[in-house]
Amino acid sequence: METSVLKFGGTSVGDFDKIRDIAGELQLRVSRGEKLIVVVSAMGGTTDELLRNASSLSHAPKEDHVALLLTTGEQQTISYLSIVLEDLGVRTKAMTGYQAGIRTFGGHMKSRIADIDQDRLKAVLKTHDIIVIAGFQGINDDLEVTTLGRGGSDTTAVAIAARCSMPCEIYTDVDGVYATDPRVYSEAHRIYEITYDEMMEMSALGAGVLETRCIEIAKNHAIPLYLGRTLSEEKGTWIMQDTQVLEKKAVTGAALDDDIIHVTLYEPQRESTLIFDLFEKFEQHDVNIDMISQVVNSEGFQLSFTVKGTDSHRLEQIFEAVGHMHPEMVLDARTGRSKVSIIGSGMRDMTGVASKAFMALQTSGIPFYQTTTSEISISYVVDSENDRQAVEVLASAFGL
Amino acid sequence: METSVLKFGGTSVGDFDKIRDIAGELQLRVSRGEKLIVVVSAMGGTTDELLRNASSLSHAPKEDHVALLLTTGEQQTISYLSIVLEDLGVRTKAMTGYQAGIRTFGGHMKSRIADIDQDRLKAVLKTHDIIVIAGFQGINDDLEVTTLGRGGSDTTAVAIAARCSMPCEIYTDVDGVYATDPRVYSEAHRIYEITYDEMMEMSALGAGVLETRCIEIAKNHAIPLYLGRTLSEEKGTWIMQDTQVLEKKAVTGAALDDDIIHVTLYEPQRESTLIFDLFEKFEQHDVNIDMISQVVNSEGFQLSFTVKGTDSHRLEQIFEAVGHMHPEMVLDARTGRSKVSIIGSGMRDMTGVASKAFMALQTSGIPFYQTTTSEISISYVVDSENDRQAVEVLASAFGL
């Protein structure tokens, strides 16, 4: 019996008509002999409304109470979808996070999944056609309800698929993964197959279709992951270990992060504790740094990196603290810059990608201030006023 | 440490202002050194809205899915109340039915409580001031969410009080128990103390303040039960084993049920299977019968009883079926009749109550068609057009 895990987000179950449409599609698949585990989010807008209510009752509502409140949203969706499915003659079991045995650890609002009761799921599938599971939620060892934080319902679906060794289909309001954001580069191609590694780089580099943790779980358990538009005939994207494409392109996609702060620090000592002191502060303030380049030469020590634009306030605090310890430090922190990246697992085997990208940018007269490379990606810091042009130039150079 | 179980119904937690008011009152009691277990219903109107949604999705939504849906209402209330309490500095733990270990058996929509995890509740009370528990819900042995049916949240509160040996206070939108319904007899006295047995008769006879099952649990575990108005200075009613009143009245209260069907059946055989066939059908159709009087004389077999007015459709089906089996049966079923009852545990020891009541009714010229008595109550069937007058006459005769 073919069994898959499907996930529908909040927009896809935004009203009762949409829930009916999805139920019809699920019934069709059941009638073709499939069994399904369906993970759903809260109906669009519900979570925000519940959060507003919580904020109206307290300036700092406690996380365990808020988590308990938010999870009612998904519980209502699974009830509604199950009522409709059953009405269509589909034998349906609805399950909240704790009923599916989704055990979590960590904070109430950003828990991680420790385990899932696969035996229970498989037993229920023997007597039911579909299990509808509330996404985004679980239960910790103290029997407290928890939520999984950003991208939580996707994580629920992928984790269940991983635990039960089933493929996972994530339905959302995009057609799939594009070689670069169609809003940035209108001629962007859709990618029908992409490797886990490429997809992880794309996600990490700002192509925000799927949280990196989801792809990581899928990769670790070799679960094929599909991303497509809800109830669409359009073919979406399969994310897998190795794509079936015979002639691989060197570059599969391009990504843009247009809200970064680009920092360069200089200290005229060759031997310095600056990097140690700085990284300790970054860790204390929970700020991620990216694109790190470091040089020591006869004149001193130089460090460049980027941080997210949203961390600017915390960055100021860090620099104030570190400045006291390193009075000779020269700081240059610039906003108005963007990170443009190209990604492709083909880079591993093919030479000339870096030089082709450099040439393309230079030829079009776009200045870039820093470059870093990973095994399957190259990133450039450019002025934000040029960032879309940079994506276009690179996308066009590599035929994305 | 004094610990009580308190219950607030849907009207009492009908909006966020009311939830804040209740939280303030609870904080006050905690500041005086109390610990509390607080059971709450869904915010007024929520359950009806969820039921309407379910009905809009299916003509016959499956009970397990509906139960799962409805319980989100109470879960939201416990989250909101806990957020406010915590904001006031009260250490609060919110618990759904399954988190409080409320194990149930029976149908999904009218479950009965099998057990409650008192060890967990008592452990949590060591580190918290208040536990807020979702009423009306539990979990069965298949880990399915269930609801307790009518008066469910009251039952949750009383059952927790019984299991943990604590007094139970039920707050609602009435001032307490009245000797008879103030809407029927405007001079009715409030009763400040009443025995379990009297209260059970009052409930069973139509004084619908508390479900009989709640009083039964309280009686079986000797839990003092208080009934009063939410946030009111007015003294309500304590329901207990023995009242402290020295000179007991023979009659404590009067009750009126103004929607009954009064049935008389006659069959000209002395030996008949009529009563057997009839009661079997009543059981099959889940119709309760009340005030049964049966006579066999030389002319045949006669049976009188009452059923609730809401069962009229099922009653017709029963009579049609039984009529086929007993063609000589003569049926007389009358609507427009009411049941008037007087209740008092003092009846046990005092004589003359029945005759005084008969006299009072006869003197005022109110015809009555049937009378039944229990150990602590007497009920009369009267015409509905006279029912309020009958209550007044009886209430006045016994000084209620």
Comparing B210 with A227, the larger pLDDT belongs to A227
Count of CB atoms situated within 10 Å of the CB of A320: 10
Q: Which residues pair with B35 in a beta bridge?
A: B3
Contact A40, A153 (CB under 8 A): yes
Between residues 188 and 217 of chain A, which touch chain B (CB distance below 8 Å)?
Answer: none
DSSP H or E stretch at residue B227? strand B225-229
- Same domain (yes/no): A150, A14: yes
Task: Mark which of B138, B173, B208 sits at the end of a domain.
Answer: B173
Within this chain, do residues A169 and A267 fall inside the same structural domain, yes or no? no
> What letter does residue A232 receive in the DSSP assignment?
-
Confidence band (pLDDT; 50, 70, 90) for A95? very high
Q: Which of B87, B63, B83 is nearest to B75 (CA)?
A: B83
The verdict on B17 and B165 lying in the same domain is: yes
- What tokens appear for A305 in the block? 């990196």
Is the pLDDT reported for residue B247 higher than 60?
no
Mean of the per-residue pLDDT values of chain B: 89
Residues of B in contact with A61 (CB under 8 A): 83, 86-87
- Average confidence (pLDDT) over A84-95: 98
What is the structure's pLDDT at B235? Answer: 92
Tell me how many degrees the CA angle B61-B65-B69 measures, rounded to the nearest 5. Answer: 105
Partner-chain contact A94 B64, CB within 8 Å: yes
CB pairs under 8 A, 24+ apart, for B207-212? B207/B177, B207/B180, B207/B181, B207/B253, B207/B255, B209/B172, B209/B174, B209/B177, B210/B151, B210/B154, B210/B170, B211/B150, B211/B151, B211/B154, B211/B155
Q: Specify if A162 maps to a domain.
A: yes
Mean pLDDT across B250-279? 85
Single out the residue of B129, B143, B152 nearest to residue B74, CA to CA.
B152
Distance CA A18, CA B207 (A): 46
Give the residue carrying structure tokens 């899915």. B65
Regarding whether B259 and B166 lie in a shared domain, the answer is: no
**Which sign does the torsion angle of CA B274, B280, B285, B287 carry?**
positive
More confident residue, A267 or A223: A223
Residue A164 and residue A261 in one domain? no
Chain A residues whose beta carbon lies within 8 Å of the beta carbon of residue B53? 16, 80
Residues A381 and A271 reside in one and the same domain: yes
- Name which of B169, B212, B209, B157 is nearest B188 in CA terms: B209
Mean pLDDT of chain A: 89
Residues B19 and B147 in one domain: yes
Q: How confident is the model at residue B209 (pLDDT cuts 50, 70, 90)?
A: confident
Residue B202 lies in a domain: no
Kindly state whether residues A389 and A260 are assigned to the same domain: yes
- Tokens coding A246: 């015979």
Same domain as B157, residue B292: no
The residue behind tokens 């006669």 is B302
Output the CA angle B36-B41-B43, nearest 5 degrees: 120
Residue B145 DSSP SS3:
strand
Q: Are residues B267 and B151 in the same domain?
A: no
Tell me the β-bridge partners of A340.
Answer: A256, A380
Q: Residue A223: inside a domain, yes or no?
A: no
Whole-number pLDDT of residue A254: 87
Average pLDDT of the residues in A153-170 = 95
Contact A87 B57 (CB under 8 A): yes
pLDDT in tens, B345-370: 777 766 678 888 888 888 999 998 88
CATH number of the domain enclosing A392: 3.30.2130.10
A and B: number of Cβ contacts within 8 A:
111
The predicted structure's pLDDT at residue A248: 64
Residue A190 lies in a domain: no
Question: Does the beta carbon of B364 lie under 8 angstroms from any beta carbon of chain A?
Answer: no
Residue-level pLDDT at B298: 74
Tell me which of A13, A83, A129, A133 to substitute to probe the interface with B (most B C-beta atoms closer than 10 Å).
Answer: A83
In this structure, are residues A35 and A12 in contact, taking their beta carbons and an 8 Å threshold? no
Between the alpha carbon of residue A364 and those of residues A99, A188, A360, the distances in Å are 58, 19, 6
Residue ending a domain, choose from B124, B156, B173: B173
Judge whether B80 is annotated as a binding position: no
For residue range B103-157, what is the model confidence (pLDDT) as tens digits? 999 888 888 999 999 999 999 999 999 999 999 999 999 999 999 987 799 999 9
**DSSP calls for A101-160:** T-EEES-TTS-EEEE--HHHHHHHHHH-SEEEEETTEEE-TTS-EEE--TTHHHHHHHHH
Angle at CA B33, nearest 5°, toward B38 and B3? Answer: 40
Average pLDDT (B199-224) is 83
User: Is 90 exceeded by the pLDDT of residue B262?
Assistant: yes
pLDDT recorded at residue B294 = 80
Number of H helices, E strands in chain A: 11, 20
Predicted confidence at residue A68, as pLDDT, reads 97
Task: Read off φ and ψ for residue A185, nearest 5 degrees.
Answer: -130, 105
Chain B: residue nearest A93 by CA?
A: B65
CB atoms within 10 A of CB B127: 8
Question: Which residue out of A19, A51, A56, A79 would a mutagenesis test of the B interface target, given it has the greatest number of B Cβ atoms within 10 Å?
Answer: A79
Shortest alpha-carbon distance between residue B143 and chain A (Å): 6
pLDDT on residue A205 = 66
Question: 């399904």: which residue's tokens?
Answer: A36
Which tokens go with B193? 């103390």
C-alpha B390/C-alpha A271 separation (Å) is 103
Inter-residue long-range contacts of B318-326, CB under 8 Å, 24+ positions, other chains counted: B318/B278, B318/B281, B318/B282, B318/B285, B318/B287, B321/B281, B322/B274, B322/B277, B322/B278, B322/B281, B325/B273, B325/B277, B326/B267, B326/B272, B326/B274, B326/B277
Which stretch, A23-32, B298-307, B310-319, B391-400, has highest mean pLDDT? A23-32
The residue of chain A nearest to residue B17, with distances taken between CA atoms, is A57
CATH of the domain at A152: 3.40.1160.10
Look at residue A389 in the predicted model and tell me its pLDDT.
92
Q: Identify the residue with better confidence: B212 or A140.
A: A140
Buried/exposed code over A117-140 (b: 16+ C-beta within 10 A; e: otherwise)? beeebeebbeebbbbbbbbbbbbb
Residue among B270, B263, B332 at smallest CA distance from B301: B270
Q: What is the pLDDT of residue A233?
A: 87
3-state secondary structure of A288: coil
Same domain, yes or no: B274 and B386: yes
* A254-306 per-position pLDDT tens digit: 888 888 999 998 888 777 788 888 888 888 888 888 888 887 777 788 888 99
Q: Which position has the higher pLDDT, A159 or B275?
A: A159
The lowest-confidence range among A14-18, A107-111, A147-151, B268-272 is B268-272
More confident residue, B68 or B200: B68
**DSSP label of A400:** -
Domain boundary among B158, B173, B188: B173
- Residue in A65, A103, A121 to test binding to B, most B beta-carbons within 10 Å: A65
Total domains, chain B? 2
Answer yes or no: do A144 and B99 touch at CB < 8 A.
yes
Q: Are residues A161 and A266 in the same domain?
A: no
| Percentage above 90 pLDDT, chain A | 53
B381 lies in some domain: yes
Which whole number is the average pLDDT over A323-329? 88
Give domain status of residue B183, yes or no. Answer: no
* pLDDT at position A74 over 70: yes
In a domain, A195, yes or no: no
Burial of A353 (0-12, 13-18, 19+ CB in 10 A): buried
ipTM for the whole predicted complex goes beyond 0.90: no
| Residue-range definition of the domain harbouring residue B33 | 3-173
A60, A72, A82 ranked by CB distance to B76: nearest: A72
Q: Quick one: DSSP state of residue A270? A: S
- On the 0-12 / 13-18 / 19+ scale of CB atoms within 10 A, A143 is middle
Q: What is the band of A62 on the pLDDT scale with cuts at 50, 70, 90? A: very high
Question: Hey, which residues 145-174 in chain B have their CB within 8 Å of chain A?
Answer: 145
Distance from C-alpha of A45 to C-alpha of B207, rounded to nearest angstrom: 43
> In the prediction, which pLDDT does A349 show?
66
Give the Cα separation of B339 and A264 in Å (integer): 89
Q: How far, in Å, are A358, B251, B252 from residue B247 at the CA level?
A: 103, 12, 12
Q: Is A96 on the interface with B (CB under 8 A)?
A: yes
Tell me if B9 is assigned to a ligand binding site: yes
- What pLDDT, in 10s, does the model give residues B31-89? 999 999 999 999 999 999 999 999 999 999 999 999 999 999 999 999 999 999 999 99
Inside any domain, residue A128: yes
CA distance B211 to B218: 11
Confidence of residue B21 (pLDDT cuts 50, 70, 90): very high
> Which of B248 and A235 is assigned the larger pLDDT?
A235
Identify whether the C-beta of residue B329 lies closer than 8 Å to the C-beta of residue B274. Answer: yes
Instruction: Kindly state whether B18 is in contact with chain A, defined as any CB-CB distance less than 8 angstroms.
Output: no
Arithmetic mean of pLDDT, A26-30: 97
CA A8 to each of CA A38, A40, A78, A129, A170: distance values in angstroms, whole numbers, following the listed order: 8, 5, 11, 17, 7
Q: What confidence score (pLDDT) does residue A244 get?
A: 63
Of all residues in chain B, what percent carry a pLDDT higher than 90? 53
Taking the C-alpha atoms of residue A347 and residue A250, their distance in angstroms, rounded to an integer, is: 5
Interface test with A, best of B47, B68, B78 (most A CBs within 10 A): B68
From the list A277, A276, A275, A288, the residue with the least C-alpha distance to A315 is A288
**A16 contacts on B by Cβ (under 8 Å):** 53, 56-57
What is the pLDDT averaged over residues B271-293? Answer: 84
